[in-house]
Amino acid sequence: MEKTLNVEGMTCGHCESAVKGALAELDGVKEVQVSLDTGKVDVTYEEGKVTDEQMKDAVEEQGYDVK
Protein backbone atom coordinates (compact mmCIF):
# COMPACT_ATOMS: atom_id res chain seq x y z
CA MET A 1 0.00 0.00 0.00
CA GLU A 2 1.04 3.58 -0.54
CA LYS A 3 -0.03 6.72 1.28
CA THR A 4 0.96 10.35 0.75
CA LEU A 5 1.08 12.59 3.82
CA ASN A 6 1.02 16.38 3.46
CA VAL A 7 3.48 17.62 6.08
CA GLU A 8 3.91 21.28 7.01
CA GLY A 9 7.00 22.76 8.63
CA MET A 10 9.77 20.77 6.93
CA THR A 11 12.47 23.14 5.71
CA CYS A 12 15.82 21.35 5.72
CA GLY A 13 17.72 18.07 5.61
CA HIS A 14 17.35 17.61 9.36
CA CYS A 15 13.56 17.89 9.00
CA GLU A 16 13.62 15.29 6.25
CA SER A 17 15.75 12.93 8.35
CA ALA A 18 13.52 13.34 11.41
CA VAL A 19 10.34 12.54 9.47
CA LYS A 20 11.93 9.64 7.57
CA GLY A 21 13.39 8.17 10.75
CA ALA A 22 10.16 8.41 12.71
CA LEU A 23 8.16 6.69 9.98
CA ALA A 24 10.82 4.06 9.25
CA GLU A 25 10.71 2.93 12.90
CA LEU A 26 7.06 1.92 12.58
CA ASP A 27 6.44 -1.79 12.11
CA GLY A 28 5.15 -2.38 8.59
CA VAL A 29 6.66 0.70 6.93
CA LYS A 30 8.82 -0.39 3.99
CA GLU A 31 9.90 2.85 2.33
CA VAL A 32 9.67 6.61 2.93
CA GLN A 33 10.26 9.31 0.32
CA VAL A 34 10.28 12.95 1.45
CA SER A 35 9.94 15.98 -0.84
CA LEU A 36 10.88 19.18 0.99
CA ASP A 37 9.71 21.31 -1.98
CA THR A 38 6.13 20.06 -1.91
CA GLY A 39 5.86 18.93 1.71
CA LYS A 40 4.72 15.51 0.55
CA VAL A 41 5.85 12.32 2.22
CA ASP A 42 5.19 9.10 0.31
CA VAL A 43 5.03 6.03 2.52
CA THR A 44 5.01 2.44 1.27
CA TYR A 45 3.69 0.09 3.94
CA GLU A 46 2.06 -3.23 4.69
CA GLU A 47 -1.67 -2.86 5.17
CA GLY A 48 -2.84 -4.17 8.52
CA LYS A 49 0.51 -3.63 10.26
CA VAL A 50 0.44 0.14 10.55
CA THR A 51 -2.44 2.64 10.53
CA ASP A 52 -2.75 6.11 9.04
CA GLU A 53 -3.12 7.41 12.57
CA GLN A 54 0.16 5.83 13.68
CA MET A 55 1.97 7.41 10.73
CA LYS A 56 0.42 10.81 11.44
CA ASP A 57 1.31 10.56 15.15
CA ALA A 58 4.92 9.61 14.36
CA VAL A 59 5.35 12.72 12.20
CA GLU A 60 3.56 15.02 14.66
CA GLU A 61 5.76 13.76 17.51
CA GLN A 62 8.72 15.20 15.55
CA GLY A 63 7.05 18.63 15.65
CA TYR A 64 5.46 18.80 12.19
CA ASP A 65 1.82 19.18 11.18
CA VAL A 66 0.11 16.60 8.99
CA LYS A 67 -2.78 17.95 6.91
Domains for the chain: give ranges and CATH numbers: 2-66 (3.30.70.100)
Q: In this structure, what DSSP letter does residue 29 have?
A: E
Query: Count H helices, E strands: the chain?
Result: 2, 4
How do residues 11-64 score in pLDDT, each as one tens digit? 999 999 999 999 999 999 999 999 999 999 999 999 999 999 999 999 999 999
Q: pLDDT confidence of 4, banded at 50, 70, 90?
A: very high
How big is the chain, counted in residues? 67
What pTM was estimated for this model as a whole? 0.94
How far apart CA 23 and CA 6 sit, in angstroms, is 14
